[in-house]
Amino acid sequence: MITDKNLARIAGLCYLIVIATGLFSEVFVRQVLRVPNNALATAQNIQAHEMLFRWGFVADIINFVVGLPTILIIYYFFKRVNKLLVQTALAFVIIQTAIIAVNLLNQISTLLILSNETYLNTFEPKQLASLSLLSLNIQAQGYGIGLVFFGFYCLIIGFLIFKSQLIPRILGILYAIAGLCYLINSFTMFLSKGFLNPLFIYLAIPIFIGELSLCLWMLTKGIDTSKIKILNEKET
């Protein structure tokens, strides 16, 4: 029989995989292969490192698949704290997952454009490069939209952690800050001319700290469900 502490550790392990695959696909694939304002160089990078690009796509799929049990386990624990709030958080993260998963079509279409002989024989290299970069740009905006919903998820879960004390309150604060940074990151991109995001590198640090802190705590310490009984006794 799986105890609550072991269940929390499973969630922590899954969350660690989510963080690792997300970092790999975004930082070590898309950010590395993409050359700002240079469609041709970006296309050449993708063609030269096609397998890396494909692994980035696979990593994103793994991210979504492994992420589902993570959020369901978190829901299992915190529904006993405030069911309405955690259901709202669950709705936000399901919408986020659906948006970004469908948005992966824009990412894979880049490779379809650059590797299909029909397109290669019909369009000029610069035209193909521009089309592929357009797909990547659309993918980036779709990713930003999805992260708006995930930002609200982090804010709610951070609040529930702080309220319940099932996990140290500081982790709830850090997780809520991560959610706020996700919102700032996306809306900065939406509101900036050319969809540039100069704040990304600064916002990525608190995001990484907030998510990794919660992940490692669940993985190493689990969750003290005895606190749930104390909360329930207070409510009654």
Region 84-97: what's the mean pLDDT? 95
Contact 142, 100 (CB under 8 A): yes
Higher pLDDT, 34 or 165: 34
Terminal-to-terminal C-alpha distance of the chain: 29
More confident residue, 235 or 175: 175
Residue 18 confidence (pLDDT) above 70: yes
- Answer for the pair 214, 152: CB distance below 8 angstroms, yes or no: no
Is the whole model's pTM more than 0.75, yes or no?
A: yes
Residues present in the chain in total: 236
Q: Phi and psi for 225 in degrees, rounded to 5? A: -75, -10
Greatest extent of the chain over all pairs of C-alpha atoms, in Å: 73
Give residue 178's pLDDT.
Answer: 97
pLDDT one-digit tens code per residue, 180-232: 999 999 999 999 988 888 888 899 999 999 999 999 999 999 887 776 644 55
What is the C-alpha to C-alpha distance for residues 26 and 36, in angstroms, rounded to an integer? Answer: 15
Number of domains in the chain: 1
Range of the domain at 113: 4-235
Contact criterion met (CB below 8 Å) for 70 and 18: yes
